[in-house]
Amino acid sequence: MVKTGPVAGEWGQYLAVGCLAGLDTVLGGVRSGLEGRFRNDVFITGFISNVLIAFMLAWVGDRIFINLFTAIALVFAGRIFNNLATIRRFALTAYTDYQARRQAARPTSVTAEEG
């Protein structure tokens, strides 16, 4: 049985920053897919470079005694919320368009006075 638990020491912070960068890239990919501009090569290279750059910035900041973890986390959190807001708007627009099409497709009822 494999024991799981928190990642020890500074590696936990690096992993957290890498996960934020990865989540930001995934949500950016979903957003660009909804906008009709998704490219697989851009997504893959962006995912790898975002995670590596975030990890390296956090590592360098740690080595020169500047806490860049917070700054990196704030930037990626802001981007994540921005992507989520755009995805939510796309979903809401698609839902309201669907409701409008459904309403327009309903046959109108004929009353006794009209018939």
Residue 30 lies in a domain: yes
Domain containing 81 equals 11-104
Query: How many domains, the chain?
Result: 1
pTM: 0.79
Residue 6 lies in a domain: no
Tokens of 89: 């708007």
**pLDDT beneath 50: ranges in the chain:** none
At residue 53, the pLDDT reads: 94
At residue 112, the pLDDT reads: 57
At residue 110, the pLDDT reads: 57
Q: Give the whole-angstrom CA distance, residue 40 versus residue 89.
A: 23
CA distances from 54 to 35, 59, 105 (A): 26, 9, 50
Residue 112 lies in a domain: no
